[in-house]
Chain A
Amino acid sequence: MSITLKINGATREITADADTPLLWVIRDELNLTGTKFGCGVASCGSCTVHVDGEPQRSCVLPISAVGDSEVTTIDAIDTPQGKAVQAAWRELDVVQCGYCQSGQIMSAAGLLTSNAKPSDEDIDTYMKGNACRCATYHRIRAAIHRASDILEG
């Protein structure tokens, strides 16, 4: 089927089967490879994008369900929360292999949008679905606090 997708501020026409997960449209059709494939079953969070500002696992979101929603990927996140998270991630050198980090950053930006001053517990609860095999969690926690401080100014 032919689909109109609003992504990263642009409108793109694509052809894909209705059941195609948004992830594969983003990666294979639109060549936006910052969004990663880790599990395909919504259990790792590597594929996290924002759909109307809300973090969603794009690996289980059929393209037909996206409709008119605005999709934002790591390649184009420019909300204050997203930028603060990226800055904090760099300041604390959170990344190791980096493969999960697009998803971590999209989730963390979502967390700070809904909760500007999260506690460790808030962070753990919100970020639990984002797995990191390199176990950078210790720094993720610290970087979210740091991003929260950056936002506070």
Chain B
Amino acid sequence: MSATNKVPMNRRSFLKSTAVVGGAMAVGFNVSGVLAATSESASGASVGFNPFVKIGPDGTVAVVIKHFEMGQGTSTGLTTLVAEELDVAWDKVAVEFAPSHDNYKNLAFGGQGTGGSTAIANSFMQYRQAGAVARDMLVRAAAEKWGVDASTIMVKEGELSSGDNKGSFSDFVEPASKLEPNAEPVLKDASKFNLIGKNKLPRKDSEAKTNGTAVFAMDVKVPNMVYVTVLRSPLFGGTVKSFELGDADKVSGFVDAKVLPNKAGVAIYAESTWAAIKARRAITAEWDNAAAEERGSAEMLSEYNAMLDAEPTYDATGKGNLAETETAAKAAAKSVSADFHFPLLAHAPMEPLNCVIEPTEDGGVRLHDGCQFHMITHPTVAAILQIPPEKVDIVTYYAGGSFGRRANGGSDYHVEAALAFAALGGKTAVKLVWTREDDLAGGYYRPMFAQRAHIGIGDDGKIAAWGHRSVAQSIFKGGPMESIAVHNGVDHFSVEGIVDTPYQLPMALGLTDYESPMPVLWWRSVGHSQSGYTMEVLMDMAAEAAEADPVEFRLAHLDESDDNQARFAGVLKLAAEKAGWDGKPMKGKGRGVAVHKSFNSYVAQVMDVSVDADGAISIDKVVCAVDCGIAVNPDVVRAQMEGGIGFGLGAVMRNEITLKDGVVEQSNFPQYEPLRITDMPEVEVHIVQSDKEPTGVGEPGLPPAGAALANAIYAATGNRVTKLPMASNGVKFA
């Protein structure tokens, strides 16, 4: 797709505009998704109109953001798309979060939600069109007033002009709001972009997030609200048999304690967060653990290993040739074999999970939430409370990180809040607050993975056979999106990044599912969070066996006449060039490279480490190259690369959730130590200039980071780390 064409709008599914009392205008969808003008309020509060762009009588512009902002920059990104086509000054545009409505669906999912690094990709045309429709209406209104041809009108930073005629948006909002929107707005040619791709457009959320005024769901307070903590079973799948209040009722501010209707825990109600936390400490419960997970991580790991040894359940490459490929690989004169282990990981977003549910006058509820997956949360809350979905209103706030955690098929914390609300009678607003301890013990982890590969090098120095086995707990099976993710029994997200690698590899891949009542979830970059590591450490090992330079060896497995492989090779070459890759060993230092494609973006990294006299590793520098098509906001792309690299490094360095007899062993940050500023390397990001459609950046920075680190550590020390986290497997960090 070219980014610059004229896009016909589907009248049945796209925009409309509306005029309002007071002369404001808005462009968006009406109740049935039809393009037509009405005189409903543009505030967005009125039933039946879902604007994307709102222009007040004074010419102020607000962009309604359909994705939630968890730090990935979407409120800046989507605003850029509208502002570009509307030709409004950047600092004159405000941002609002959309309510929960199907007209705000993610075009990549078919429902309202954020994930899979899709926000910019799915909105790129839609938000530009919304801006273009609004601009066209203003221009036509001005043309009529001035008696000139619309084509003579120029628009710049919210000012219109034609010859001697000059005016601002505010002069034309009212007449424009009465015009029929144009179903086929002409979008700008990329060569005319003023904002898209501009190196440094200030983030829309910077000011509020630096003066304490940004509102997160954790900051919401509604009248007569009680605070709720929940005492949950220490084992996944355990249910409440009974509980004792102990001294909880002596805690000042304690209100009540009740078993949740689904018996998943005891809800403790109090007049403040602190009272709810304190009262919970006094309560003890008896649990029914008949269906609970009682295994420990060590037992799980040996079961994973046994599953690697056994015949895989599924043939993910579909050729029935795993055994012969493994045999050929092992028989090759030069070969490589390795097992990989990846631990459970918690997302640990900085803002612990929480939400507020308050009753509304019409017998419904309003959910205040850093809501990531309206499409699941909305109907789930309605079903739990047995009210029609139209009586559920969701107000979305800034989210203090997510990394995937706020979206899950079961909407776990919303369900918990709804049950706590119902258990108290459904008349009192409740604010559910998780502590960090709840978060780390709360499940929905990145699953454990085990991988085994046998690779044989042929006489031509290239990979001649690659036999691969994976064992993973499926994320999607049994969930609401199973049908999109699982084919012939294979959960694609268990094998992504391996089965669909851009490298030309004669690969056979077998998959076996691990099963546990412990819930697992997508964690920043999903399957790529471990396949990037596996693949790129293996490519390094294979390069060594082939006695080839790691960069040259990788390039030898890419056919650059194919666009996909060319882009993959392109970032690899760019990172190598910018880092001054020469393949020469340096004393006391090591350099590693990795490249990975995920979410349709290509990222390569060259990482430098040094080793001190005690053998402790410091990560000095990362040179990163990314090809994400058109970089709508290059500085946001850079920030997401920096963040993805840091998040990935922290995890591979020292993070793991472990269970002992089913109980999570890490209780708070001291046991699940996040990456610190002392660990953070210098990061240099290079963005490939591109006119291809934009692809994701929230996740793709992560997958190569761990592998580049591992390869650098190997180069520096000769220690090949295939079991994570590194700190639990013999690597010392400075």
Contacts and interface: CB of A to CB of B under 8 A. Distances in A.
Nearest to B272: A28
Nearest to A102: B212
B210 A97 contact: no
Given A36-B351, A128-B677, A133-B403, A97 B203 contact: no
A44 B398 CA distance: 19
Interface in A117-148: 123-125, 127-128, 130-141
Contacts of B675: 131, 135, 137
The 10 A-B residue pairs with the shortest CB-CB distance, nearest first, are A34-B212, A135-B646, A99-B400, A98-B209, A97-B71, A96-B71, A33-B219, A137-B680, A74-B212, A24-B274
B312 interface: no
Contacts of A46: 350
Contact of B209 (A21, A32, A37, A101): A101
Given A96-B73, A96-B639, 18 more contacts: A28-B272, A33-B219, A36-B350, A37-B218, A40-B668, A73-B212, A86-B211, A90-B207, A93-B200, A93-B639, A94-B206, A97-B402, A98-B208, A98-B210, A101-B209, A133-B401, A136-B642, A137-B677
Contacts of B669: 39, 41, 43-44, 131
B650 interface: yes
Nearest to B636: A93
Contacts of B703: none
16 contacts: A28-B273, A41-B668, A41-B669, A44-B669, A74-B211, A74-B212, A86-B210, A93-B200, A96-B73, A96-B639, A98-B71, A98-B214, A100-B400, A102-B212, A133-B401, A134-B646
Nearest to A74: B212
B212 A89 contact: no
Contacts of A138: 642, 646, 680-683
A86 B207 CA distance: 8
Contacts of B678: 124-125, 128
B670 interface: yes
A134 B643 contact: yes
Q: At the interface, is chain A mostly helix, strand, loop or mixed?
A: loop
Interface string B350-370: 111000000000000000000
Contact of B215 (A33, A35, A95): A33
A128 B674 CA distance: 11
Interface in A44-69: 44, 46
B202 interface: yes
Interface in B51-67: none
B98 interface: no
Interface residues of B, number: 62
A27 interface: yes
A58 to B, nearest CB: 12
Given A28-B274, A34-B211, A43 B647 contact: no
Contacts, number: 180
A118 B423 CA distance: 54
Interface string B658-691: 0000000000111000111110111100000000
B636 to A, nearest CB: 8
Contacts of A128: 676-678
Label chain B's interface by main secondary structure: loop
B349 A133 contact: yes
B68 to A, nearest CB: 11
A38 B162 CA distance: 55
Interface string B685-703: 0000000000000000000
Interface string B179-202: 000000000000000000000101
A121 to B, nearest CB: 9
B307 interface: no
Interface in A12-35: 17, 20-21, 24, 27-29, 31-35
Contacts of A89: 206, 210
A37 B221 CA distance: 15
A112 interface: no
A71 interface: no
B136 interface: no
Contacts of A101: 209-210
Interface of B: 69-73, 200, 202-203, 205-216, 218-219, 221, 227, 252, 272-274, 277, 348-352, 398-403, 435-436, 635, 639, 642-643, 645-647, 650, 668-670, 674-678, 680-683
Nearest to A28: B272
B30 to A, nearest CB: 34
Contacts of B639: 93, 96, 136, 139
B643 A135 contact: yes
Contacts of B71: 95-98, 134
B211 A131 contact: no
A131 B676 contact: yes
B651 to A, nearest CB: 11
A40 to B, nearest CB: 6
Given A41-B670, A136-B643, A95 B351 contact: no
A105 interface: yes
Nearest to B679: A137
Contacts of B205: 95, 98
A75 B211 contact: yes
A99 B216 contact: yes
Contacts of A24: 272-274
A90 to B, nearest CB: 5
B350 A134 contact: yes
A148 to B, nearest CB: 16
A136 B647 CA distance: 10
A137 B212 contact: no
A133 B401 CA distance: 8
B677 A141 contact: yes
A41 B670 CA distance: 9
B351 A135 contact: no
A21 B274 contact: yes
A41 B216 CA distance: 21
A123 to B, nearest CB: 7
A98 B400 contact: yes
A3 to B, nearest CB: 13
Contacts of B69: 97
A97 B274 contact: no
Given A36-B400, A40-B436, A44-B350, A95 B206 contact: yes
A134 to B, nearest CB: 5
Interface in A70-90: 73-75, 86, 89-90
Contacts of B403: 133
Contacts of A36: 216, 218, 350-351, 400
Given A28-B274, A99-B216, A133 B677 contact: no
A143 to B, nearest CB: 10
A145 to B, nearest CB: 13
B218 to A, nearest CB: 7
A5 to B, nearest CB: 15
B635 A93 contact: yes
A31 B639 CA distance: 31
Nearest to A25: B274
A125 B678 CA distance: 7
Nearest to A87: B210
Nearest to B433: A37
Contacts of A33: 212, 215-216, 218-219
